[in-house]
Structure 1
C-alpha cells in the first residue's frame, strides 16, 4: 500500500516542493530539530563565554565538515531509523536539515564575537580619551600662568 502523503521524485520541482515532501513527523527528524534548537539556545546563552563558544564553534564546523560522510552512512542505514530514504548523492537533504542550521549557528557565534570585539574597542577608546583629557588638564594646571599685559600697561 502506498502512503497517500508519498511524493514521487519527479513531482519535486523546486526547493519548496522538496521541503513539502519531507515527513517532518519522523521521530529522528524531530530529535534533530530539537538538537538544533538546543544548540541555538546554548549559543545564545553562552555568548559572553568566549572559550566555550570557541569550543562550540569548532565542534559545529567539524560536524558540518563531516556531513558528506554522515550522508553516506545514513544513506546506507536509513531503514533502521527513517520511514523514507532522504539521503541523496547530491546531499540536498543533509545540507537542508543538518548543515544549514549548523552554519547559521556558526554565523551567530561570529556575530557575537564581532559584537563583543566592538564593545571592547569602544571601552578601550573611551578609556584612552578619558586618560588624554586628564593628561591635558594636568598639563594646563602645571604650566606657569602667563600674565597678559593690558593695552594701558603696554603704552606706559
Structure 2
C-alpha cells in the first residue's frame, strides 16, 4: 500500500511509498545484493576491489545524469515516475547502497593496512632482537678472547 507523493514526509514514509514489486526495482535490489556479496568475497583481492571501487564511485558520480535519463524515459520501464529533479529517489535507492559498499571496502583496506603494519613492526622487532643477540654474543666472544 503506497501513499500519494504529497503525504511523504520522511525517509521511512518515502521508502514505504515505493512499489518494490516493480521488476526494475527488484533487479536493482538484486544488483546491490550481488555487489555487496562480491565486495565481501573479494576482500583479499586488491585489484578487483579497486576496480569495483572505481566503478561504484563513477556510477554515483553519474547518478544525476542517470536520474535525468530515467526521468525522461520512466514509462518504458517503470509503473510510476520516481525520478524527481532533486534526485532524492536515485540517491536513496542507488547512490546510498553503492556508497555503503565503498565504505565497506575502505574499512576493509584500513583493517588490512593496520594488520600489515602490525606484522611489519613485529618483524622489525624480531630483527632488532636478533641483531642485539648477535652483538651480545660477539662481544661475549671478544671478552673471552681478551681474557685468554
Higher alpha-carbon deviation: 14-23 or 96-105:
14-23
How large is the RMSD of aligned CA atoms in angstroms? Answer: 1.1
Compute the displacement of 1:116 (Å). 1.1
Provide the residue aligned with 1:133 in structure 2.
Answer: 129
SS of the aligned residue for 2:44 comes to coil
Structure 2: state its 5+ residue gaps: none
Which residue does the alignment assign to 2:143? 145
Within-5 A mapping of 1:1-156: 5-143=1-139, 144-145=142-143
CA distance in 1, matches of 2:117, 2:2: 55
Q: Deviations over 1:92-119 (max 9, x none)?
A: 1000000000000001111111111111
Unaligned stretches of 5+ in structure 1? 147-156
After TM superposition, the score normalised by the length of structure 2 is 0.92
Size of the alignment, in residue pairs?
A: 142
Aligned-partner Cα distance in 2 for 1:128–1:66: 45
**Structure 1-normalised TM-score?**
0.88
Report the alpha carbon displacement of residue 145 of structure 1 after superposing the two structures with TM: 3.5
